[in-house]
């Protein structure tokens, strides 16, 4: 890529906005999924009996809604990212590309 083009894009406020927003959003969501998953793994590592505890008087244990909930949460979090990326980030990207005359 042309070095002049690189520095021009880098200097663009929109590019800086995109990089800042996307990086922050990406790491925020990464932190959330890490806490959720390693929180779950931590329960398995240190407190197995909590997950084995039955809910109410039935046999279904607490671990089942927690585990299935984590699966749903993972997919939902991914969808949250896509929703923002497909609108806001894509719009910014398009503007940057247009500005750069590409």
Binding footprint of another protein on the chain (CB under 8 A): 1, 3, 5-7, 9-10, 15, 18-19, 22, 25-27, 29-30, 33, 37-38, 40-42, 44-46, 48-49, 51-54, 58-61, 63-64, 67-68, 70-72, 74-75, 77-79, 81-82, 85-86, 90, 93, 96-97, 100, 102
Residue closer to another protein (CB basis): 13 or 44: 44
Nearer to another protein, 13 or 18 (CB): 18
Determine contact, residues 34/102, Cβ cutoff 8 Å: no
Contacts of residue 9, Cβ cutoff 8 Å, sequence gap at least 6: 15, 96, 100
Residue number, 3 or 13, with CB nearest to another protein: 3
Euclidean distance between CA atoms 78 and 94, whole angstroms: 22
Provide the minimum distance between the beta carbon of 41 and another protein in the complex, in angstroms, as a whole number.
4
Asked if residue 68 lies in contact with residue 78, where contact means CB atoms within 8 angstroms, the answer is: no
To the nearest 5 percent, what fractions of the chain are helix, strand and coil?
85, 0, 15
């Amino acid at each position: 890529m042309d070095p002049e083009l690189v520095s021009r894009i880098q200097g663009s406020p929109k590019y800086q906005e995109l990089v800042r927003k996307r990086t922050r959003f990406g790491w925020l969501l990464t932190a959330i999924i890490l806490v959720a998953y390693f929180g779950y793994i931590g329960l398995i590592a240190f407190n197995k009996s909590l997950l084995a505890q039955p809910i109410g008087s039935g046999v279904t244990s607490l671990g089942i809604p927690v585990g299935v909930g984590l699966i749903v949460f993972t997919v939902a979090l991914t969808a949250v990212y896509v929703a923002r990326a497909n609108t806001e980030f894509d719009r910014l990207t398009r503007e940057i590309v247009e500005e750069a005359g590409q």
